[in-house]
Amino acid sequence: MEKLYKGIHKFRESYFTKEEDFFKGLSHNQEPEVLFITCADSRVDPNLVTQSLPGELFIVRNVGNIVPPYNAGRGKSSAIAAIEFAVLVLAVKDIILCGHSNCGAVAALHMEEDKFAEMPYLKEWLKICSPVAETINKYYKHLEGAKRQKVTEEENILFQLRNIETYPFVAERLNSGGLHLHGWYYDIGTGHVHSYNPVSDSFEKIVYKGDKDE
């Protein structure tokens, strides 16, 4: 905790002091254009990865970047409440569903039942993703190790995107062109972010125009 206290002091005395007017402006309201849904993993920092400022992303984080289907957890999920608020109140223009490499929640989809003996809530939460595990076991059972893990992580992203589309107010905005969905895969080890391309049915590395592709 000492490190966090020191960090708060450093933030207040240096960064905040220099940007005090900016933060005073933020204190009145928020107008983010992007809803960013990602994993609770401590290694994933949306603002750091996208180099965005406070107020630019409305962030939802949970174990496995999971979005319950609209009717599945209605009235009982903070994720659903956040999506509802972001779309209907904040009127975000884009929703990014971002998964990542070496995801523990995704790996848990392949764990044996007895491993969850002391984690009943995690077990129940991950049941939402049972179709992902079924897809892997049916179409990718020949894969093992890191390859199986990555494919599962990618399939999980696509599954959550489909779940988001079950929300009537999301579907309506998508159909009108006022909202766009993006599936991202963040590779922690390389720093690269890949975006799902429905045309090629693959995740392609995001390269900013003007930067050289490595």
- Going by C-alpha positions, the residue among 208, 212, 214 that lies closest to residue 195 is 208
Query: 58 with 83: CB under 8 angstroms?
Result: no
179 HSE (CA, 13 A, CB side): 23
Query: 39 with 101: CB under 8 angstroms?
Result: no
DSSP state at residue 91? -
Q: What is the pLDDT of residue 214?
A: 46
* φ/ψ of residue 136, rounded to 5: -65, -45
Confidence band, pLDDT 50/70/90 cuts, at residue 73:
low
Considering the chain, what percentage of its residues have pLDDT values greater than 90? 90
Q: Is the pLDDT of residue 83 over 80?
A: yes
- What is the average per-residue pLDDT within 172-186? 98
- What is the average per-residue pLDDT within 94-117? 95
pLDDT tens per residue across span 8-24: 999 999 989 999 999 99
Confidence band, pLDDT 50/70/90 cuts, at residue 71:
confident
Q: Is the pLDDT of residue 143 over 70?
A: yes
* φ/ψ of residue 12, rounded to 5: -65, -40
Q: Is the pLDDT of residue 95 over 80?
A: yes
State pTM to two decimals. 0.92
